[in-house]
Amino acid sequence: MLTIIFQNALQSGGPDYSVPLGRRDGLNFATTAETLANLPPPSANTTTLLTSLATKSFDPTDVVALSGGHTIGISHCTSFTGRLYPSQDPTMDQTFANNLKITCPVANSTNTTFMDIRSPNTFDNKYYVDLMNRQGLFTSDQDLYTDARTRDIVTSFAINQTLFYEKFVDAMVKMGQLNVLTGTQGEIRQNCSVVNSNDLVIESVVKGRDSGGELSDF
């Protein structure tokens, strides 16, 4: 996931940075339930975001910076139509809401829309400009500007794209250092998206023994 976020950000004009090396891959993949348990939902308010991510040592600046990843990508209507139906969220700009209702005419619409209406294909700071104009798509987006604890951070990123890039990189590096596997923990995958087969493990062990390596290294 970290690789995907980094590639998408870089390819769409975002910051380039050195990713710390040495992190090994896990021996299994997180289930859908495990993944969702670690990701606050689109309907989360700022209190929920800050509380949830504080358990992983992210501070408010990290939270606002990571949320800026929503400057690119799309969302399904069902992730935000709770702000449109049955009644409109009062923090949402009226014209923005009217346009979303055209894209998502019913609450369970299967349509999609861009996360950032100003520059949907460019990784920049326009996401924060959206928030200042009450045009954040998710509750978890717009509430960052509504909440006094994060409002000034949103404003500073909207004004200063370089600052946003710096803080985004800091937060991404911090994310990459969560629950790191090193030494003999985990594995180094032949294919990042697939756990190594037993055959590959056996082959690695044999090669290690043939080259004088110790079996305990694997």
User: Region 125-153: what's the mean pLDDT?
Assistant: 99
**In sequence order, which ranges of 89-197 are alpha helices (DSSP H)?**
94-103, 126-132, 139-146, 148-159, 161-176
On the question of pLDDT at 48 being above 90, the answer is yes
Position 196 scores a pLDDT of: 84
Dig out the tokens for 24 from the structure. 């090994």
Q: Look at residues 65, 61, 74 and name the one whose alpha carbon lies nearest to residue 14.
A: 65
End-to-end CA distance of the chain: 25
Position 152 scores a pLDDT of: 99
Query: Whole-number mean pLDDT of the chain?
Result: 84
As a whole number of angstroms, the distance between CA 125 and CA 72 comes to 10
Position 202 scores a pLDDT of: 42
Instruction: Judge whether 40 is annotated as a binding position.
Output: yes
How many CA atoms, within 13 angstroms, populate the side-chain half-sphere of residue 25? 16
User: Region 1-11: what's the mean pLDDT?
Assistant: 49
Instruction: Judge whether 76 is annotated as a binding position.
Output: no
What CATH superfamily is the domain 41-180?
Peroxidase, domain 2 (1.10.420.10)
Where do the domains of the chain lie?
A: 41-180
Instruction: Judge whether 105 is annotated as a binding position.
Output: no
Between 1 and 74, residue with greater pLDDT: 74
On the question of pLDDT at 214 being above 90, the answer is no
As a whole number of angstroms, the distance between CA 175 and CA 84 comes to 33
